[in-house]
Amino acid sequence: MLIYKILTAEQWAVLDQSGTFQGAPIDLADGYIHTSTADQAQETADKHFAGAEGLMLAALDVATYGDDLVWEISRGGAEFPHIYNRPMLRDEVIWARPMPLVDGKHSLDFS
């Protein structure tokens, strides 16, 4: 199963160039890397990244994270995947795609 991390252009550049991403400011404050399922990613983009340009959607395989991946109840009572105790690594990204704005809303391509 794939989960997804939405990254700003700057965050993607850090991950792509250094090979490691410690997390966005909210990740660092909360103590884990926030990710979403495919069903949750659009709402996450709409709520937390409205109007932001240059976003990237990075796909990650849940099997990579073992016990470091914890499903926790969050927005609307839904369980969200959170990565604890480690950074996200570039080598773990299955694919990454731009999230262009189309009529003011991010377009997510999961294919």
- Residue 74 is predicted with a pLDDT of 85
pLDDT tens track for 42-79: 999 999 999 999 999 999 999 999 999 999 998 788 99
- Residue 88 is predicted with a pLDDT of 98
Return the beta strands (E) in the chain as ranges: 2-7, 20-21, 33-34, 56-61, 69-73, 79-83, 88-89, 93-98, 101-102, 105-106
Fold that domain 2-101 belongs to in CATH: ADP-ribosylation fold (3.20.170)
Determine the average pLDDT of the residues in 7-33: 97
- Residue 108 is predicted with a pLDDT of 95
| pLDDT averaged over every residue in the chain | 96
> How is residue 108 annotated by DSSP?
-
- Residue 71 is predicted with a pLDDT of 98
Buried b (16+ CB within 10 A) or exposed e, 7-34: beeebbebbeeeeebebbeebeeeebbb
Sequence ranges of the domains in the chain: 2-101
